[in-house]
Amino acid sequence: MQSRAPAELWRTVRSMPDFWRLMQLRMASQFGDGLFQATVAGALLFNPDRAADPGAIARAFAVLFLPYSVLGPFAGALMDRWDRRWVLVGANVARLVLIAAIGTILAVRAGEVALLLGALLANGMARFVASGLSASLPHVVPREQVVTMNSVATASGAIAAFLGANFMLVPRFFVGGGDKGASTIIFITAVPVCIALLLSLRFGPRVLGPDDTLRAIHGSAVYAVVTGWLHGARTIVRQPTVAAALSALAAHRMVVGINSLLLLLLAHHTKNPAFGGLGIALLFFAASGLGSFVSTLLTPPTVRRWGRYVAVNGALTTAAVIQLAGAGLMLPVMVGCSFFLGVTGQMIKLCADSAMQMDVDDALRGHVFAVQDSLFWVSFIVAITTAAAFMPPDGQAPIFVVIGSVLYLIGLLVHSVVGRRSHPVKAR
């Protein structure tokens, strides 16, 4: 975690060939994921052929992310059992098959149910890849560089996802915002996923783990999958640094859910929602992504100076104040708040990742990352679904911004109490 100039940091990255390959794989995968997510969002929420009220937006997010979020910890057990290289290969092959199916569904206008089902499965595979990459990182970098290199990898992935999401606007301008145009863009998504697949094949056997340690879960694959939730949750409860960080992350994701619904409703009620509204939504999420990138530069020195525990407490406190600034529901101010919340939120996420990568046995790391991935989306969906039940169709409800600030303070309280159970050295 020593401070390095960009050129020296670049040389360090290139000196670790397996980490460099892992980072390339992450960038290709997340570029495709960003392109895919933006295309599906445009097809469902900013399609001139469809209306989008709070309930419709909440249902779309729930169908796309909730099923995998519930089942992910069970499947995550496989990452601690099988060679993670082959898990990444298999998941990317499945993504290609699903991309072809979704493109066809849109081309023939098979209906929203079929589209949501296909997108659900594709998102599940994408999240499986993301969890596998995070669980594999400690195998390709020295322990003392995990926090710094995790920040580098996360920043690279965030930039790639941002570029992918915004690249969607280019073909959309030419092919239109309807189902036919979305179908064309979905097929384009196959290109970065193919690259991710080829990069997955470049790793040697067991280079990405898992290790067969004393804490490895033995027995049949069925047993490992069925008990995945139990082992992941039990490991989190027994490790206060992880439990505290995930409680903070859950609070942040609930606020993100509320803010996302507010912004999407406000954008959908602009004069030209199919293009202008979508552009506003992408600007909002781009600001958050830029904040996340800045956070990857700030987090390593912050953790080095004050430790993970203090860094997360500071991020939650700052986020609670920033959240209140958006209570006026003025879009330019909300975009600015999105940037700063991206900074604080990503700091929380990076500290949570580091806790799992450094404080959890490798034989259980996939279990824990899968539980974290589920918590990441379940918190988001619970918040957005609850808010949708009370939010007006035009999104003019500043009270929900205040509720978001309260959620950050609750997260701060839980993190402070749970985090104190850990040894001071581990809290760093």
How far is it, in rounded angstroms, from Cα 287 to Cα 18? 31
Q: Tell me whether residue 251 is exposed, middle or buried, using C-beta atoms within 10 angstroms of its C-beta: 0 to 12, 13 to 18, 19 or more.
A: buried
pLDDT the model gives residue 349: 93
Q: Please answer whether residues 214 and 78 qualify as being in contact, where contact means their C-beta atoms are separated by less than 8 angstroms.
A: no
Give the chain's domains with CATH numbers. Answer: 17-203+217-419 (1.20.1250.20)
pLDDT the model gives residue 68: 65
How far is it, in rounded angstroms, from Cα 247 to Cα 322? 20
Residues of the chain with pLDDT under 70: 1-6, 47-52, 67-68, 70-77, 212-229, 270-277, 422-428
Best CA proximity match to 102, nearest among 37, 175, 25, 5: 37
307-359 pLDDT, tens digit per residue, is 999 999 999 999 999 999 999 998 889 989 999 999 999 999 999 998 988 88
pLDDT the model gives residue 400: 96
pLDDT the model gives residue 259: 95
How far is it, in rounded angstroms, from Cα 384 to Cα 62? 9
How far is it, in rounded angstroms, from Cα 154 to Cα 287? 16
Q: Please answer whether residues 78 and 224 qualify as being in contact, where contact means their C-beta atoms are separated by less than 8 angstroms.
A: yes
Best CA proximity match to 164, nearest among 153, 152, 156: 156
Best CA proximity match to 234, nearest among 368, 355, 134, 372: 368
How far is it, in rounded angstroms, from Cα 311 to Cα 404? 20
Q: Residue 415's Cα: distance from chain center in Å?
A: 20
Helix, strand, coil percentages, rounded to 5, for the chain: 80, 0, 20
Q: How crowded is residue 305: how many other Cβ atoms within 10 Å of its Cβ?
A: 9
Cα separations (Å) of 255 from 204, 384, 419? 41, 9, 21
Q: Which two tokens stand for residue 386?
A: 């609850």
How far is it, in rounded angstroms, from Cα 425 to Cα 409? 25
Q: What is the CA radius of gyration of the chain?
A: 20
How far is it, in rounded angstroms, from Cα 214 to Cα 232? 16
40-81 pLDDT, tens digit per residue, is 887 877 766 665 678 878 877 887 777 667 666 666 667 777
